[in-house]
């Protein structure tokens, strides 16, 4: 009698984070940043539409924009945009056949540039 072991489902395999490589993390972070930027676009358009309601709506908008939560969310948008854009450069370069063997190194370099840019923006944004 043979004992059959059941292999983990595809979802369980996908959620096995410790055994994922840098490429999977780059892909997942790129998708999440794209979704975040798309959500931001709709929120941005909604807020701008509110300005057409007149001066009182503009005053409410200004008070919202000056709130700490809004400032933090603006910083998150900048972080997502920096990462998404720089990772896009890496994807374009490798799609064109440039530096394909160095994808991992390019990811870490561009991730570092995005992190430094995010830090510089945070310093400028939260100390001004």
**Residues sharing a CB contact under 8 Å with residue 117, sequence separation 6 or more, in sequence order:** 82
Q: Please check whether residue 81 lies inside any domain of the structure.
A: yes
CA 50 vs. chain centroid, Å, equals 26
Task: Kindly state whether residue 83 falls inside one of the protein's structural domains.
Answer: yes
Residue 35 inside a domain? The answer is yes
Domain range for 53 is 21-127
Give domain status of residue 95, yes or no. Answer: yes
Give every CB contact of residue 76 below 8 A, 6+ residues apart in sequence.
36
Is residue 117 a part of any domain in this protein?
yes
Output the six-digit token pair for 91.
Answer: 């994807």
Question: 74 CB contacts (<8 Å, ≥6 apart)?
Answer: 125
- Which residues, 6 or more positions from 47, have their beta carbon under 8 angstroms from its beta carbon? 61, 64
What total number of domains does the chain contain? 1
Per-residue model confidence (pLDDT) at position 4: 61
Assess if residue 106 is contained within a domain: yes
Ranges of the chain whose pLDDT falls below 50: none
Q: What is the DSSP string of 29-54?
A: HHHHHHHHHHHHHHHHHHHHHHGGG-
Within-domain flag for 54? yes
Burial profile 12-23: b = 16 or more Cβ within 10 angstroms, e = fewer: eeeeeeeeeeee
What pLDDT does residue 1 have? 54
The answer to whether residue 4 is domain-embedded is no
**pLDDT score, position 83:** 95
- Please report, for the domain that includes residue 90, its CATH number: 1.20.1300.10
Q: Cα(30)–Cα(1) distance, rounded to whole angstroms?
A: 48
* pLDDT the model gives residue 114: 95
């Amino acid at each position: 009698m043979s004992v059959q072991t059941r292999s983990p489902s595809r979802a369980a395999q996908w959620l096995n984070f410790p055994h994922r490589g840098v490429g999977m993390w780059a892909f997942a972070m790129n998708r999440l940043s794209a979704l975040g930027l798309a959500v931001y676009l709709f929120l941005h358009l909604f807020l701008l539409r509110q300005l057409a309601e007149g001066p009182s709506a503009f005053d409410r908008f200004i008070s919202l924009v000056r709130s700490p939560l809004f400032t933090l969310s603006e910083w998150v948008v900048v972080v997502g945009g920096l990462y998404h854009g720089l990772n896009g450069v890496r994807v374009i370069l490798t799609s064109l056949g440039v530096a394909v063997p160095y994808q991992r190194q390019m990811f870490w370099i561009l991730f570092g540039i995005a992190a430094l840019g995010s830090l510089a923006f945070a310093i400028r944004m939260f100390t001004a």
